[in-house]
Amino acid sequence: MGFCAAAQFPYFVGQKNTMRLFILFLFVCLYLNAQVLPAQNTVDLYRPRNIQRAYKNETRSENGAPGLHYWQNKAEYLIKVQLDLKKRLVHGDAQIKYLNNSPDSLKIIRLKLAHDLWRKNGQRAYDLSEEDMGEGVRINGVLVDGVRQAPGQLNRANSFLTIPLDKALPAGKSIQLNVNWSYTAPSGKDVPRECVCDSSSWFVAYWYPQIAVYDDLHGWADAPYTGLQEMYNDFSDYEVHIQTPGNVMVWATGTLENAEDLFMPEYLKRYQKALNSKEVVHIFSPDDYQENREFFRPNAIHTFIYKAQNVPDFAFGLSDHYLWDATSALVDSTTGRQALVGAAYNPQSKDYYEVCSIAAKGLSLMSTYLPGYPYPYPRMTIFNGDDGMEFPMMCNDGSTFPNSPLTLTVHESSHTYFPFMMGINEQYYAWMDEGWAAFFDVMVSDSLAGKEVGRQRNYWDFAGTENDMPPMVPSRHLSNPAYRVASYNRPQAAYFNLYQMLGYKRFHHCMRTYMDRWKGKHPQPFDFFNTWNDAAGENLNWFWKPWFFDWGFPDLAVLGMQNNGGRKPQLLIENTGTMPMTVHVEVTYADGSTEIIRKSADVWKNGAKKIMLPTAGGKIVQKASLGARLIADTDPENNVWKFAAPAKGEKK
């Protein structure tokens, strides 16, 4: 209850000044109440205690920007790996320099062993081929600053290898690790994210011991890799030497450093031409294979050297019979910077002959339209594997024939921005990248095709059911189908409404501000929400809360017509659900004409449950239909109103 000064004011005997003084104190009353009572329509978002602690420690800011004391750790990897294709053996040696930028002394170092997914006692989100089960990752030796660690010192569990340090690693200091390991590549048809596609064509992912993230919110990452939730990695530098038989080509994250030492002159020339070509160059063509031409300099074994800076992961693909197309895409019109875009594919994949061109056009459009931010890397290769999975500068995409490869190519390529350029923690907040990729694969694919081809996720089938969990529930606690609904379907629907509400210019400004602030860093949800509030110039918590924090569902209904005192007849629309949504109504008049009436989601921001929409004056509304392609609406039964003519003798 507010405090009213007028309630304390005594009655004056002198009547002349009583009314004047009463009015004066009434204004005082209203003023004080305005200071004491909370502002109307202000919505607070619940913030977990670790987020509050980050604000207190100034690693993050209330306005969504990185804090004065924001930090993140980094590693430098020098990896040498050999592949035995016949035995499906991957054997590597990694030299890792790890820099502790945190304010804490670290008593352990934690390594991720993703291939422990195939340990017989490993945790798994779903069944995998029994024949692929075995030891998981074989650790052959670990050195810390040159000192060999006894196996009994190492703690291995939940797809992690934890190394206790004899001496804690102080803030600002680095440590040197050497790890020698091997594993057998799984070959089953149900293998997630990687592929022994055939005996000499592989996509190699989640393949090396990688230092887990230590951050300001959770300390050491501890979510096990079960095959469902994806990655959360620090930004690191890589130099990787990949040794293969002499007739095998390797495509990888980063830039190929020794092309001159590997390729025969004709193929080196084609590769170099592609670096600046607007047309697709067929570096390895069907004719080349038909004529048994030699691509590589004569050696029994070749070593491909790839380097990549400030990326969160490294993956590679290889084959001795794949075709290779490449072209150059303009990704920054301000600087003229171009990226080499390629497709490596099985000649039998009929859809892949257009993938290189699609990928190049897609990256150029994403760099200028949505998200409207220059593609940040020098390379992108779409590898013909058996999945739909993204990695920095690489995608493992299966063939989509007889359907077009457009939307899959755009979706996986767009992940370059989320979670790679923006280092999203997918183990907790998968919607912060999958939702955006789902949004882009509609908006960008439709723009490239000039028609509606993008994949709209069917949120309306799941909304409001027990499988519809608020995206703010940590992804690591979800299993399918709730994981996919919270990560893809619901946020995609939310972003469509957000775009329709803000309009392109304002939406792009918010997106650009967010990406400028958090490029190469680790944003969490409140960094996203608060940055967009800040950039939009208004508090959008009324929108974030129902879409990302609350249980609920989106649904609008058209209730009918109201004659508003002789003025234009109005349609009565009710928000029968819990989420603010775009209102899109097609009105058909008795004379056969039609009209589209559209209102953005902010018509609901003040808590209104019903709104009135004026229709064309002087016309009789015959029918009103709610809904449009990009608007998720759970109940289509209440979306149509039709004029019912009065029965004979009945008054209108």
Residue 35: what pLDDT?
A: 35
Residue 649: what pLDDT?
A: 56
Residue 650: what pLDDT?
A: 53
Contact (Cβ atoms closer than 8 angstroms) between residue 365 and residue 403: no
Query: For 99-112, what is each residue's pLDDT tens digit?
Result: 999 999 999 999 99
Residues 6+ apart with CB under 8 A from 326: 271, 274, 277, 280, 281, 283, 340, 341, 342, 343, 356
Burial of 357 (0-12, 13-18, 19+ CB in 10 A): middle
Q: Output the average pLDDT for the chain.
A: 92
Residue 80, amino acid: K
At the top level of CATH, the class of 556-642 is: mainly beta
Query: For 551-605, what is each residue's pLDDT tens digit?
Result: 999 999 999 998 766 567 899 999 999 999 999 999 999 999 999 999 999 999 9
pTM of the model: 0.91
Residue 3: what pLDDT?
A: 31
Contact (Cβ atoms closer than 8 angstroms) between residue 306 and residue 255: yes
Q: What is the CATH number of domain 424-552?
A: 1.10.390.10
Residue 16: what pLDDT?
A: 44
Q: What are phi and psi of 54, to 5 degrees?
A: -65, -40
Predicted confidence (pLDDT) at residue 638 exceeds the cutoff of 60 = yes
Query: For 84-136, what is each residue's pLDDT tens digit?
Result: 999 999 999 999 999 999 999 999 999 999 999 999 988 999 888 888 999 99
Residue 479: what pLDDT?
A: 95
What is the per-residue DSSP string for 613-641?
EE--TT--EEEEEE--TT---S-GGGSEE
> Which tokens is 598 given?
């559209």
Residue 24: what pLDDT?
A: 43
> Which tokens is 379 given?
């390379």
Contact (Cβ atoms closer than 8 angstroms) between residue 596 and residue 583: no
Of 111, 120, 133, 122, nearest in space to 191 by CA: 133
Predicted confidence (pLDDT) at residue 520 exceeds the cutoff of 70 = yes
Q: What are phi and psi of 506, to 5 degrees?
A: -70, -40
- Any idea which architecture 74-423 has in CATH? Sandwich (2.60)
Distance CA 272, CA 281 (A): 10
Residue 99: what pLDDT?
A: 98
Predicted confidence (pLDDT) at residue 465 exceeds the cutoff of 80 = yes
Q: What are phi and psi of 127, to 5 degrees?
A: -70, 145
Q: How many CB atoms lie within 10 A of CB 466?
A: 8
Residue 189: what pLDDT?
A: 84
Q: How many CB atoms lie within 10 A of CB 324?
A: 24
Predicted confidence (pLDDT) at residue 52 exceeds the cutoff of 60 = yes
Q: How many CB atoms lie within 10 A of CB 333?
A: 11
Question: What is the band of 647 on the pLDDT scale with cuts at 50, 70, 90?
Answer: low
What is the per-residue DSSP string for 352-413?
GGGHHHHHHHHHHHHHHTSS-S---SSEEEEEE-SSEEEETTEEEE---TTS-SHHHHHHHH
Distance CA 45, CA 485 (A): 21
**Crossing angle for the helix pair 490-518 and 525-536, to the nearest 10 degrees:** 80
